[in-house]
Structure 1
Protein backbone atom coordinates (compact mmCIF):
# COMPACT_ATOMS: atom_id res chain seq x y z
CA UNK A 1 0.00 0.00 0.00
CA UNK A 2 1.16 3.56 -0.70
CA UNK A 3 0.38 4.65 2.86
CA UNK A 4 3.41 6.94 3.09
CA UNK A 5 1.62 9.47 5.32
CA UNK A 6 -0.84 8.84 8.19
CA UNK A 7 -3.30 11.27 6.61
CA UNK A 8 -3.81 8.99 3.62
CA UNK A 9 -6.36 6.71 5.25
CA UNK A 10 -8.37 9.73 6.40
CA UNK A 11 -7.95 11.37 3.00
CA UNK A 12 -9.38 8.42 1.12
CA UNK A 13 -12.13 7.96 3.71
CA UNK A 14 -13.06 11.63 3.35
CA UNK A 15 -13.37 11.20 -0.41
CA UNK A 16 -15.20 7.87 -0.28
CA UNK A 17 -18.60 9.40 -1.13
CA UNK A 18 -17.34 10.93 -4.37
CA UNK A 19 -18.53 9.26 -7.60
CA UNK A 20 -14.90 8.25 -8.26
CA UNK A 21 -15.08 5.76 -5.37
CA UNK A 22 -18.40 4.17 -6.29
CA UNK A 23 -18.33 0.47 -7.16
CA UNK A 24 -19.77 1.30 -10.60
CA UNK A 25 -16.97 3.76 -11.36
CA UNK A 26 -14.25 1.37 -10.22
CA UNK A 27 -15.74 -1.46 -12.29
CA UNK A 28 -15.91 0.82 -15.33
CA UNK A 29 -12.31 1.98 -14.92
CA UNK A 30 -11.08 -1.60 -14.53
CA UNK A 31 -12.80 -2.51 -17.79
CA UNK A 32 -11.30 0.47 -19.62
CA UNK A 33 -7.75 -0.17 -18.36
CA UNK A 34 -7.82 -3.92 -18.92
CA UNK A 35 -5.28 -5.42 -21.32
CA UNK A 36 -8.11 -7.66 -22.56
CA UNK A 37 -10.33 -4.80 -23.73
CA UNK A 38 -11.36 -5.22 -27.37
CA UNK A 39 -13.29 -3.17 -29.92
CA UNK A 40 -16.62 -4.94 -29.31
CA UNK A 41 -16.48 -4.40 -25.54
CA UNK A 42 -15.44 -0.77 -25.90
CA UNK A 43 -18.19 -0.09 -28.47
CA UNK A 44 -20.78 -1.67 -26.15
CA UNK A 45 -19.60 0.58 -23.32
CA UNK A 46 -19.61 3.74 -25.46
CA UNK A 47 -23.15 3.11 -26.73
CA UNK A 48 -24.45 3.33 -23.16
CA UNK A 49 -23.67 7.07 -23.21
CA UNK A 50 -25.25 9.04 -26.11
CA UNK A 51 -23.06 12.10 -25.47
CA UNK A 52 -19.91 9.98 -25.51
CA UNK A 53 -21.08 8.23 -28.68
CA UNK A 54 -21.58 11.58 -30.40
CA UNK A 55 -18.15 12.78 -29.26
CA UNK A 56 -16.32 9.71 -30.61
CA UNK A 57 -18.18 9.92 -33.93
CA UNK A 58 -17.33 13.63 -34.17
CA UNK A 59 -13.64 12.86 -33.73
CA UNK A 60 -13.76 10.06 -36.34
CA UNK A 61 -15.48 12.40 -38.81
CA UNK A 62 -13.10 15.31 -38.18
CA UNK A 63 -11.03 16.65 -41.13
CA UNK A 64 -7.90 15.30 -39.44
CA UNK A 65 -8.74 11.71 -40.45
CA UNK A 66 -9.82 12.74 -43.97
CA UNK A 67 -12.63 10.21 -44.40
CA UNK A 68 -14.43 10.36 -47.74
CA UNK A 69 -17.79 9.37 -46.25
CA UNK A 70 -19.65 10.02 -43.02
CA UNK A 71 -18.89 7.49 -40.26
CA UNK A 72 -22.01 6.40 -38.37
CA UNK A 73 -20.93 3.12 -36.74
CA UNK A 74 -19.16 3.34 -33.39
CA UNK A 75 -17.16 0.18 -34.22
CA UNK A 76 -15.92 1.79 -37.41
CA UNK A 77 -15.12 4.99 -35.53
CA UNK A 78 -12.97 3.00 -33.09
CA UNK A 79 -11.07 1.43 -36.00
CA UNK A 80 -10.42 4.87 -37.51
CA UNK A 81 -9.43 6.62 -34.29
CA UNK A 82 -7.66 3.57 -32.86
CA UNK A 83 -8.57 1.36 -29.92
CA UNK A 84 -5.96 2.86 -27.62
CA UNK A 85 -6.83 6.47 -28.51
CA UNK A 86 -10.57 5.87 -28.18
CA UNK A 87 -10.03 4.21 -24.83
CA UNK A 88 -8.07 7.26 -23.70
CA UNK A 89 -10.90 9.59 -24.64
CA UNK A 90 -13.37 7.42 -22.73
CA UNK A 91 -11.15 7.19 -19.63
CA UNK A 92 -10.61 10.96 -19.66
CA UNK A 93 -14.34 11.58 -20.06
CA UNK A 94 -15.17 9.15 -17.26
CA UNK A 95 -12.75 10.81 -14.85
CA UNK A 96 -13.90 14.30 -15.91
CA UNK A 97 -17.48 13.39 -15.01
CA UNK A 98 -16.53 11.92 -11.62
CA UNK A 99 -14.08 14.63 -10.51
CA UNK A 100 -15.01 18.21 -11.38
CA UNK A 101 -13.09 20.86 -9.39
CA UNK A 102 -14.69 24.22 -8.67
CA UNK A 103 -13.09 27.39 -10.10
CA UNK A 104 -12.43 28.70 -6.57
CA UNK A 105 -9.73 26.04 -6.09
CA UNK A 106 -7.51 27.73 -8.66
CA UNK A 107 -7.15 24.51 -10.68
CA UNK A 108 -8.05 25.17 -14.32
CA UNK A 109 -9.73 21.98 -15.66
CA UNK A 110 -9.05 22.86 -19.30
CA UNK A 111 -5.35 23.43 -18.69
CA UNK A 112 -5.23 20.32 -16.50
CA UNK A 113 -6.56 18.12 -19.30
CA UNK A 114 -4.43 19.76 -21.98
CA UNK A 115 -1.34 18.95 -19.90
CA UNK A 116 -2.65 15.45 -19.19
CA UNK A 117 -3.21 14.67 -22.85
CA UNK A 118 0.19 16.12 -23.80
CA UNK A 119 1.83 13.91 -21.15
CA UNK A 120 -0.07 10.91 -22.49
CA UNK A 121 1.06 11.60 -26.04
CA UNK A 122 4.64 11.98 -24.88
CA UNK A 123 4.57 8.84 -22.74
CA UNK A 124 3.14 6.77 -25.57
CA UNK A 125 5.62 7.98 -28.18
CA UNK A 126 8.66 7.57 -25.91
CA UNK A 127 7.46 4.10 -24.86
CA UNK A 128 7.12 3.13 -28.54
CA UNK A 129 10.71 4.16 -29.22
CA UNK A 130 12.04 2.44 -26.10
CA UNK A 131 10.22 -0.80 -26.92
CA UNK A 132 11.24 -0.77 -30.58
CA UNK A 133 14.91 -0.37 -29.72
CA UNK A 134 15.30 -2.45 -26.57
CA UNK A 135 16.64 -6.00 -26.59
CA UNK A 136 14.09 -7.14 -23.99
CA UNK A 137 10.58 -7.67 -25.47
CA UNK A 138 8.97 -6.72 -22.14
CA UNK A 139 11.04 -3.55 -21.65
CA UNK A 140 7.90 -1.44 -21.30
CA UNK A 141 4.18 -1.65 -21.99
CA UNK A 142 2.92 1.05 -24.36
CA UNK A 143 -0.63 0.50 -23.10
CA UNK A 144 0.53 0.96 -19.50
CA UNK A 145 2.38 4.15 -20.49
CA UNK A 146 -0.80 5.40 -22.13
CA UNK A 147 -3.03 4.72 -19.10
CA UNK A 148 -0.42 6.08 -16.68
CA UNK A 149 -0.28 9.28 -18.72
CA UNK A 150 -4.05 9.75 -18.58
CA UNK A 151 -4.17 9.16 -14.81
CA UNK A 152 -0.80 10.51 -13.66
CA UNK A 153 -2.22 13.70 -12.08
CA UNK A 154 -5.43 12.19 -10.73
CA UNK A 155 -4.26 13.14 -7.23
CA UNK A 156 -4.50 16.84 -8.18
CA UNK A 157 -8.15 16.46 -9.11
CA UNK A 158 -8.89 14.53 -5.92
CA UNK A 159 -7.21 17.21 -3.78
CA UNK A 160 -9.03 20.06 -5.52
CA UNK A 161 -12.43 18.35 -5.36
CA UNK A 162 -12.16 17.11 -1.76
CA UNK A 163 -10.30 19.98 -0.06
CA UNK A 164 -11.23 23.13 -1.96
CA UNK A 165 -9.93 25.75 0.48
CA UNK A 166 -6.64 23.93 1.05
CA UNK A 167 -6.06 23.51 -2.68
CA UNK A 168 -6.71 27.21 -3.16
CA UNK A 169 -3.74 27.76 -0.82
CA UNK A 170 -1.71 25.46 -3.08
CA UNK A 171 -2.71 27.49 -6.14
CA UNK A 172 -1.76 30.72 -4.37
CA UNK A 173 1.66 29.34 -3.40
CA UNK A 174 2.28 28.28 -7.00
CA UNK A 175 1.42 31.77 -8.23
CA UNK A 176 3.12 33.85 -5.52
CA UNK A 177 6.27 31.81 -4.84
CA UNK A 178 6.58 30.25 -8.32
CA UNK A 179 6.63 26.74 -6.86
CA UNK A 180 5.98 23.53 -8.74
CA UNK A 181 2.56 22.05 -7.91
CA UNK A 182 4.00 19.09 -6.02
CA UNK A 183 6.22 21.40 -3.95
CA UNK A 184 3.29 23.62 -2.97
CA UNK A 185 1.12 20.57 -2.18
CA UNK A 186 3.85 19.18 0.06
CA UNK A 187 3.75 22.38 2.12
CA UNK A 188 -0.01 22.43 2.53
CA UNK A 189 -0.84 18.71 2.70
CA UNK A 190 2.50 17.17 3.79
CA UNK A 191 2.30 14.95 0.71
CA UNK A 192 1.82 15.63 -3.00
CA UNK A 193 -0.56 14.59 -5.76
CA UNK A 194 1.73 11.84 -7.05
CA UNK A 195 1.60 9.95 -3.73
CA UNK A 196 -2.14 10.43 -3.29
CA UNK A 197 -2.73 9.53 -6.94
CA UNK A 198 -0.85 6.25 -6.53
CA UNK A 199 -2.87 5.43 -3.41
CA UNK A 200 -6.11 6.14 -5.28
CA UNK A 201 -5.11 4.01 -8.28
CA UNK A 202 -4.21 1.18 -5.94
CA UNK A 203 -7.67 1.39 -4.38
CA UNK A 204 -9.08 1.26 -7.91
CA UNK A 205 -7.17 -2.04 -8.31
CA UNK A 206 -5.11 -0.78 -11.22
CA UNK A 207 -1.90 -2.65 -12.18
CA UNK A 208 1.09 -2.21 -9.87
CA UNK A 209 3.28 -0.86 -12.69
CA UNK A 210 0.87 2.05 -13.24
CA UNK A 211 0.62 2.76 -9.50
CA UNK A 212 4.44 2.76 -9.21
CA UNK A 213 4.86 5.08 -12.20
CA UNK A 214 2.32 7.58 -10.84
CA UNK A 215 3.95 7.44 -7.40
CA UNK A 216 7.40 8.27 -8.81
CA UNK A 217 6.56 10.59 -11.71
CA UNK A 218 8.17 13.59 -9.98
CA UNK A 219 11.16 11.69 -8.63
CA UNK A 220 12.30 9.05 -11.10
CA UNK A 221 15.91 9.76 -10.12
CA UNK A 222 15.18 8.31 -6.68
CA UNK A 223 16.17 4.62 -6.42
CA UNK A 224 13.07 2.48 -6.92
CA UNK A 225 13.94 -0.73 -5.13
CA UNK A 226 12.21 -4.01 -5.89
CA UNK A 227 10.85 -2.80 -9.23
CA UNK A 228 11.13 -4.86 -12.39
CA UNK A 229 12.58 -3.59 -15.66
CA UNK A 230 9.20 -2.62 -17.15
CA UNK A 231 8.13 -0.81 -13.97
CA UNK A 232 11.39 1.16 -13.72
CA UNK A 233 11.22 2.12 -17.40
CA UNK A 234 7.57 3.13 -17.08
CA UNK A 235 8.34 5.39 -14.10
CA UNK A 236 11.22 7.07 -15.98
CA UNK A 237 9.22 7.47 -19.19
CA UNK A 238 6.23 8.98 -17.36
CA UNK A 239 8.49 11.37 -15.47
CA UNK A 240 10.11 12.50 -18.72
CA UNK A 241 6.77 12.85 -20.51
CA UNK A 242 5.38 14.93 -17.65
CA UNK A 243 8.41 17.23 -17.75
CA UNK A 244 8.14 17.87 -21.49
CA UNK A 245 4.36 18.33 -21.54
CA UNK A 246 4.69 22.14 -21.12
CA UNK A 247 6.70 22.14 -24.35
CA UNK A 248 3.70 20.61 -26.12
CA UNK A 249 1.04 22.91 -24.70
CA UNK A 250 3.20 26.01 -24.18
CA UNK A 251 6.26 25.70 -26.45
CA UNK A 252 8.08 28.65 -24.88
CA UNK A 253 7.66 27.43 -21.29
CA UNK A 254 11.02 27.20 -19.51
CA UNK A 255 9.97 24.68 -16.86
CA UNK A 256 10.32 21.71 -19.17
CA UNK A 257 13.69 22.90 -20.45
CA UNK A 258 15.04 23.20 -16.89
CA UNK A 259 14.37 19.56 -16.06
CA UNK A 260 14.96 18.03 -19.48
CA UNK A 261 18.64 17.12 -19.23
CA UNK A 262 18.25 15.73 -15.72
CA UNK A 263 15.34 13.54 -16.73
CA UNK A 264 16.90 12.33 -19.96
CA UNK A 265 19.94 11.25 -17.95
CA UNK A 266 17.73 8.80 -16.03
CA UNK A 267 17.38 6.60 -19.10
CA UNK A 268 20.14 4.33 -20.42
CA UNK A 269 22.18 5.89 -23.24
CA UNK A 270 20.43 4.05 -26.07
CA UNK A 271 16.98 4.90 -24.68
CA UNK A 272 18.02 8.50 -24.00
CA UNK A 273 18.71 9.11 -27.68
CA UNK A 274 15.32 7.67 -28.62
CA UNK A 275 13.57 9.75 -25.99
CA UNK A 276 15.26 12.88 -27.34
CA UNK A 277 14.02 12.07 -30.84
CA UNK A 278 10.48 11.50 -29.61
CA UNK A 279 10.57 14.69 -27.58
CA UNK A 280 11.84 16.81 -30.47
CA UNK A 281 9.26 15.42 -32.87
CA UNK A 282 6.45 16.04 -30.43
CA UNK A 283 7.69 19.56 -29.73
CA UNK A 284 7.88 20.45 -33.43
CA UNK A 285 4.50 18.90 -34.21
CA UNK A 286 2.74 20.51 -31.27
CA UNK A 287 4.12 23.94 -32.17
CA UNK A 288 2.51 23.63 -35.58
CA UNK A 289 -0.72 22.02 -34.42
CA UNK A 290 -1.73 23.86 -31.26
CA UNK A 291 -2.64 27.19 -32.91
CA UNK A 292 -4.67 25.38 -35.55
CA UNK A 293 -6.69 22.91 -33.48
CA UNK A 294 -8.62 24.34 -30.52
CA UNK A 295 -10.21 21.04 -29.48
CA UNK A 296 -7.94 19.34 -26.94
CA UNK A 297 -9.13 15.89 -28.00
CA UNK A 298 -7.93 16.57 -31.54
CA UNK A 299 -4.64 17.97 -30.25
CA UNK A 300 -4.03 14.71 -28.46
CA UNK A 301 -5.09 12.54 -31.38
CA UNK A 302 -3.06 14.59 -33.84
CA UNK A 303 0.12 14.28 -31.80
CA UNK A 304 -0.26 10.54 -31.34
CA UNK A 305 -1.20 9.95 -34.96
CA UNK A 306 1.70 11.96 -36.35
CA UNK A 307 4.20 10.16 -34.13
CA UNK A 308 2.80 6.80 -35.25
CA UNK A 309 3.10 7.82 -38.91
CA UNK A 310 6.77 8.65 -38.42
CA UNK A 311 7.40 5.26 -36.82
CA UNK A 312 5.57 3.22 -39.46
Structure 2
Protein backbone atom coordinates (compact mmCIF):
# COMPACT_ATOMS: atom_id res chain seq x y z
CA UNK A 1 0.00 0.00 0.00
CA UNK A 2 1.38 3.43 -0.96
CA UNK A 3 2.28 5.94 1.72
CA UNK A 4 0.14 8.60 0.00
CA UNK A 5 -3.08 6.94 1.14
CA UNK A 6 -4.40 7.98 4.56
CA UNK A 7 -4.28 5.23 7.10
CA UNK A 8 -7.78 6.09 8.19
CA UNK A 9 -9.27 6.30 11.66
CA UNK A 10 -11.47 3.57 13.05
CA UNK A 11 -14.88 5.24 13.38
CA UNK A 12 -16.14 2.56 15.77
CA UNK A 13 -13.08 3.05 17.98
CA UNK A 14 -13.67 6.81 17.97
CA UNK A 15 -17.29 6.36 18.98
CA UNK A 16 -16.31 3.96 21.75
CA UNK A 17 -13.85 6.58 23.05
CA UNK A 18 -16.65 9.06 23.66
CA UNK A 19 -18.00 8.74 27.22
CA UNK A 20 -21.55 7.37 27.21
CA UNK A 21 -24.30 9.95 27.00
CA UNK A 22 -26.16 9.92 30.32
CA UNK A 23 -29.51 8.16 30.19
CA UNK A 24 -31.21 11.34 31.39
CA UNK A 25 -29.91 13.20 28.30
CA UNK A 26 -31.44 10.61 25.99
CA UNK A 27 -34.70 10.75 27.90
CA UNK A 28 -34.73 14.57 27.79
CA UNK A 29 -34.35 14.43 24.00
CA UNK A 30 -37.21 11.95 23.75
CA UNK A 31 -39.55 14.05 25.87
CA UNK A 32 -38.53 17.30 24.12
CA UNK A 33 -39.58 15.83 20.77
CA UNK A 34 -42.89 14.48 22.02
CA UNK A 35 -45.67 16.87 20.91
CA UNK A 36 -47.83 15.61 23.76
CA UNK A 37 -45.19 16.29 26.44
CA UNK A 38 -45.80 18.92 29.08
CA UNK A 39 -43.66 20.80 31.56
CA UNK A 40 -44.64 18.12 34.09
CA UNK A 41 -43.27 15.35 31.86
CA UNK A 42 -40.02 17.26 31.33
CA UNK A 43 -39.75 17.99 35.06
CA UNK A 44 -39.94 14.28 35.90
CA UNK A 45 -36.97 13.57 33.64
CA UNK A 46 -34.91 16.60 34.66
CA UNK A 47 -35.44 15.80 38.33
CA UNK A 48 -33.58 12.52 37.83
CA UNK A 49 -30.36 14.50 37.25
CA UNK A 50 -29.33 16.53 40.32
CA UNK A 51 -26.81 18.56 38.33
CA UNK A 52 -29.28 19.56 35.63
CA UNK A 53 -31.98 20.24 38.22
CA UNK A 54 -29.71 22.52 40.22
CA UNK A 55 -28.67 24.47 37.12
CA UNK A 56 -32.28 25.09 36.14
CA UNK A 57 -33.21 26.12 39.67
CA UNK A 58 -30.19 28.43 39.83
CA UNK A 59 -31.25 30.06 36.56
CA UNK A 60 -34.85 30.57 37.55
CA UNK A 61 -33.84 32.05 40.92
CA UNK A 62 -31.32 34.41 39.31
CA UNK A 63 -31.85 38.15 38.97
CA UNK A 64 -33.37 37.74 35.51
CA UNK A 65 -36.27 35.66 36.84
CA UNK A 66 -36.38 36.78 40.46
CA UNK A 67 -39.73 36.25 42.18
CA UNK A 68 -41.04 37.15 45.61
CA UNK A 69 -40.27 33.64 46.83
CA UNK A 70 -37.48 31.25 45.97
CA UNK A 71 -38.52 28.50 43.54
CA UNK A 72 -37.52 25.07 44.80
CA UNK A 73 -39.58 22.85 42.48
CA UNK A 74 -38.17 21.83 39.09
CA UNK A 75 -41.68 21.73 37.62
CA UNK A 76 -42.41 25.28 38.82
CA UNK A 77 -39.04 26.37 37.46
CA UNK A 78 -39.82 24.98 34.01
CA UNK A 79 -43.23 26.65 33.99
CA UNK A 80 -41.58 29.94 34.94
CA UNK A 81 -39.04 29.63 32.13
CA UNK A 82 -41.72 28.74 29.59
CA UNK A 83 -41.83 25.34 27.91
CA UNK A 84 -39.82 26.22 24.78
CA UNK A 85 -36.97 27.83 26.70
CA UNK A 86 -37.09 25.10 29.33
CA UNK A 87 -36.95 22.43 26.63
CA UNK A 88 -33.99 24.08 24.88
CA UNK A 89 -32.16 24.50 28.17
CA UNK A 90 -32.82 20.92 29.23
CA UNK A 91 -31.63 19.44 25.91
CA UNK A 92 -28.56 21.67 25.70
CA UNK A 93 -27.66 21.27 29.36
CA UNK A 94 -28.12 17.50 29.40
CA UNK A 95 -25.88 16.95 26.35
CA UNK A 96 -23.27 19.71 26.69
CA UNK A 97 -23.02 19.12 30.43
CA UNK A 98 -21.86 15.56 29.78
CA UNK A 99 -18.78 16.75 27.86
CA UNK A 100 -17.03 19.52 29.74
CA UNK A 101 -14.42 21.88 28.23
CA UNK A 102 -10.79 20.77 28.34
CA UNK A 103 -8.35 23.64 28.80
CA UNK A 104 -5.35 21.47 27.83
CA UNK A 105 -6.08 21.77 24.12
CA UNK A 106 -5.55 25.30 22.86
CA UNK A 107 -6.78 25.02 19.28
CA UNK A 108 -9.87 22.80 19.47
CA UNK A 109 -12.12 24.48 22.02
CA UNK A 110 -15.12 22.58 23.29
CA UNK A 111 -16.82 25.82 24.39
CA UNK A 112 -16.67 27.09 20.80
CA UNK A 113 -17.81 23.66 19.61
CA UNK A 114 -20.95 23.94 21.74
CA UNK A 115 -21.61 27.56 20.76
CA UNK A 116 -21.51 26.49 17.12
CA UNK A 117 -23.83 23.56 17.87
CA UNK A 118 -26.33 25.75 19.73
CA UNK A 119 -26.26 28.36 16.94
CA UNK A 120 -27.00 25.63 14.38
CA UNK A 121 -29.77 24.33 16.64
CA UNK A 122 -31.49 27.71 16.86
CA UNK A 123 -31.12 28.37 13.12
CA UNK A 124 -32.29 24.87 12.16
CA UNK A 125 -35.34 25.34 14.39
CA UNK A 126 -35.99 28.68 12.70
CA UNK A 127 -35.82 27.09 9.24
CA UNK A 128 -38.08 24.26 10.42
CA UNK A 129 -40.64 26.81 11.55
CA UNK A 130 -40.55 28.49 8.15
CA UNK A 131 -41.03 25.23 6.25
CA UNK A 132 -43.86 24.14 8.58
CA UNK A 133 -43.34 20.52 7.61
CA UNK A 134 -40.44 19.79 9.96
CA UNK A 135 -40.74 19.24 13.69
CA UNK A 136 -39.12 22.24 15.37
CA UNK A 137 -37.95 20.43 18.55
CA UNK A 138 -36.35 17.72 16.38
CA UNK A 139 -34.55 20.41 14.38
CA UNK A 140 -33.17 21.93 17.58
CA UNK A 141 -32.03 18.54 18.88
CA UNK A 142 -30.44 17.60 15.54
CA UNK A 143 -28.57 20.90 15.55
CA UNK A 144 -27.18 20.28 19.03
CA UNK A 145 -25.82 16.84 18.11
CA UNK A 146 -24.93 17.34 14.42
CA UNK A 147 -21.16 17.43 15.06
CA UNK A 148 -20.90 14.76 17.76
CA UNK A 149 -18.76 12.65 15.42
CA UNK A 150 -16.05 15.28 15.66
CA UNK A 151 -16.29 15.28 19.44
CA UNK A 152 -15.86 11.50 19.34
CA UNK A 153 -12.67 11.97 17.32
CA UNK A 154 -11.48 14.52 19.87
CA UNK A 155 -11.97 12.05 22.73
CA UNK A 156 -10.22 9.36 20.69
CA UNK A 157 -7.17 11.48 19.78
CA UNK A 158 -7.22 15.11 21.02
CA UNK A 159 -3.70 15.82 19.77
CA UNK A 160 -4.71 14.73 16.26
CA UNK A 161 -7.70 17.08 16.29
CA UNK A 162 -5.48 19.96 17.39
CA UNK A 163 -3.11 19.13 14.52
CA UNK A 164 -6.02 19.05 12.07
CA UNK A 165 -7.23 22.44 13.28
CA UNK A 166 -3.71 23.86 12.94
CA UNK A 167 -3.51 22.61 9.34
CA UNK A 168 -6.95 23.96 8.49
CA UNK A 169 -6.02 27.38 9.85
CA UNK A 170 -2.55 27.50 8.28
CA UNK A 171 -3.69 26.28 4.87
CA UNK A 172 -7.00 28.22 4.90
CA UNK A 173 -9.02 25.06 4.34
CA UNK A 174 -12.02 23.60 6.08
CA UNK A 175 -11.58 21.16 8.93
CA UNK A 176 -13.67 18.69 6.92
CA UNK A 177 -11.07 18.69 4.12
CA UNK A 178 -8.25 17.98 6.56
CA UNK A 179 -10.28 15.25 8.27
CA UNK A 180 -10.85 13.56 4.92
CA UNK A 181 -7.09 13.40 4.37
CA UNK A 182 -6.79 11.77 7.78
CA UNK A 183 -9.35 9.18 6.73
CA UNK A 184 -12.12 10.42 9.01
CA UNK A 185 -15.69 11.50 8.22
CA UNK A 186 -17.22 13.12 11.28
CA UNK A 187 -20.69 13.24 9.72
CA UNK A 188 -20.67 9.48 9.12
CA UNK A 189 -19.31 8.92 12.64
CA UNK A 190 -22.02 11.17 14.08
CA UNK A 191 -24.74 9.29 12.22
CA UNK A 192 -23.42 5.98 13.54
CA UNK A 193 -23.33 7.43 17.05
CA UNK A 194 -26.92 8.67 16.73
CA UNK A 195 -28.02 5.19 15.71
CA UNK A 196 -26.20 3.78 18.72
CA UNK A 197 -28.20 6.19 20.86
CA UNK A 198 -31.38 5.06 19.03
CA UNK A 199 -32.29 8.59 17.99
CA UNK A 200 -35.13 8.95 15.45
CA UNK A 201 -34.20 8.15 11.86
CA UNK A 202 -34.69 11.75 10.56
CA UNK A 203 -32.18 13.02 13.14
CA UNK A 204 -29.68 10.29 12.22
CA UNK A 205 -30.05 11.21 8.55
CA UNK A 206 -29.69 14.93 9.27
CA UNK A 207 -26.43 14.32 11.15
CA UNK A 208 -25.02 12.18 8.34
CA UNK A 209 -25.98 14.68 5.62
CA UNK A 210 -25.28 18.05 7.23
CA UNK A 211 -22.44 18.83 4.80
CA UNK A 212 -24.45 18.00 1.70
CA UNK A 213 -25.71 20.89 -0.49
CA UNK A 214 -29.27 20.63 0.80
CA UNK A 215 -31.30 23.82 0.63
CA UNK A 216 -34.87 22.93 1.56
CA UNK A 217 -36.55 23.81 4.87
CA UNK A 218 -39.04 21.03 4.16
CA UNK A 219 -36.75 18.25 5.42
CA UNK A 220 -34.93 17.96 8.72
CA UNK A 221 -31.65 17.21 6.94
CA UNK A 222 -32.09 20.32 4.79
CA UNK A 223 -32.75 22.54 7.83
CA UNK A 224 -29.60 21.34 9.61
CA UNK A 225 -27.42 21.56 6.48
CA UNK A 226 -28.62 25.12 5.75
CA UNK A 227 -28.15 26.14 9.36
CA UNK A 228 -24.62 24.74 9.49
CA UNK A 229 -23.63 26.61 6.32
CA UNK A 230 -25.17 29.82 7.65
CA UNK A 231 -23.34 29.64 10.98
CA UNK A 232 -19.98 28.72 9.42
CA UNK A 233 -20.45 31.40 6.77
CA UNK A 234 -20.80 33.98 9.52
CA UNK A 235 -17.54 32.95 11.16
CA UNK A 236 -18.65 30.73 14.04
CA UNK A 237 -16.62 27.63 13.29
CA UNK A 238 -17.18 24.15 14.78
CA UNK A 239 -14.61 24.12 17.56
CA UNK A 240 -12.00 26.73 16.74
CA UNK A 241 -11.59 30.46 16.17
CA UNK A 242 -10.08 31.82 12.96
CA UNK A 243 -8.75 35.35 13.53
CA UNK A 244 -9.63 37.88 10.79
CA UNK A 245 -6.90 38.89 8.35
CA UNK A 246 -4.66 41.72 9.59
CA UNK A 247 -6.25 45.09 9.04
CA UNK A 248 -9.75 43.67 8.63
CA UNK A 249 -12.70 43.42 10.97
CA UNK A 250 -15.56 40.96 10.74
CA UNK A 251 -18.86 42.75 11.28
CA UNK A 252 -21.77 40.35 11.77
CA UNK A 253 -25.06 40.97 10.04
CA UNK A 254 -27.91 42.17 12.29
CA UNK A 255 -29.70 38.82 12.08
CA UNK A 256 -26.54 36.89 13.00
CA UNK A 257 -25.88 39.28 15.89
CA UNK A 258 -29.38 38.50 17.12
CA UNK A 259 -28.70 34.77 16.84
CA UNK A 260 -25.51 35.21 18.88
CA UNK A 261 -27.49 36.87 21.66
CA UNK A 262 -29.69 33.78 21.82
CA UNK A 263 -26.64 31.52 21.80
CA UNK A 264 -24.82 33.44 24.51
CA UNK A 265 -27.93 33.55 26.69
CA UNK A 266 -28.42 29.79 26.42
CA UNK A 267 -24.71 29.09 26.95
CA UNK A 268 -24.86 31.16 30.12
CA UNK A 269 -27.88 29.16 31.30
CA UNK A 270 -26.15 25.86 30.48
CA UNK A 271 -22.79 26.67 32.06
CA UNK A 272 -23.84 29.12 34.75
CA UNK A 273 -21.18 31.54 33.48
CA UNK A 274 -21.20 34.34 30.88
CA UNK A 275 -20.10 33.12 27.45
CA UNK A 276 -16.38 33.80 27.33
CA UNK A 277 -15.68 33.19 23.65
CA UNK A 278 -17.21 35.28 20.91
CA UNK A 279 -17.38 34.67 17.19
CA UNK A 280 -14.64 36.91 15.87
Structure 1 consecutive aligned stretches of length 4 or more whose deviation exceeds 6 Å = none
1:31 is aligned, of 27, 30, 38, to: 27
2:113 alignment partner in structure 1: 112
1:202 alignment partner in structure 2: 195
Q: Which moved more, 1:64-73 or 1:146-155?
A: 64-73
Residue 87 (structure 2) pairs with residue 91 (structure 1): no
Deviations 1:20-68 (A, max 9, x none): 26xxx3x434322223454333222322333322211232244555756
Q: Is the 8 A contact 1:99 1:158 kept in 2?
A: no
* Structure 1 unaligned regions, length at least 5: 1-5, 132-138, 223-228, 255-279, 301-312
2:277 alignment partner in structure 1: none
Q: Is the 8 A contact 2:27 2:45 kept in 1?
A: no
1:283 is aligned, of 235, 256, 270, to: 256
Q: Structure 1 residues 295, 45: closer, same or farther in 2, change over 3 A? A: closer
1:212 alignment partner in structure 2: 205
Structure-1 separation of matches of 2:50 and 2:155:
26
Q: Is the 8 A contact 2:43 2:74 kept in 1?
A: yes
Normalised by the length of structure 1, the TM-score is: 0.66
Structure-2 separation of matches of 1:66 and 1:281:
30
Structure-2 separation of matches of 1:105 and 1:155:
20
Normalised by the length of structure 2, the TM-score is: 0.73
Give me the CA root mean square deviation. 3.6
Q: Is the 8 A contact 1:155 1:195 kept in 2?
A: yes
Structure-2 separation of matches of 1:121 and 1:173:
29
* Structure 2 unaligned regions, length at least 5: 1-6, 245-252, 272-280
Q: Structure 1 residues 212, 18: closer, same or farther in 2, change over 3 A? A: closer
1:20 alignment partner in structure 2: 20
**SS across alignment from 2:194:** helix
Q: Is the 8 A contact 2:128 2:136 kept in 1?
A: yes
Q: CA deviation at 1:284?
A: 4.6
Equivalent residues, number: 248
Q: Relative contact order, CA 8 A, sep 6+: which one is greater?
A: 2
Structure-2 separation of matches of 1:221 and 1:172:
28
1:1-312 aligned within 5 A:
10-13=10-13, 15-16=15-16, 18-20=18-20, 25=22, 27-34=23-30, 35-36=33-34, 37-65=37-65, 70-100=70-100, 102=102, 103-104=104-105, 106-131=107-132, 139-188=133-182, 190-221=183-214, 233-246=219-232, 247=234, 282-286=255-259, 289=261, 296-298=267-269
Q: Which has more helix, going by share of residues?
A: 1
**SS across alignment from 1:20:** coil
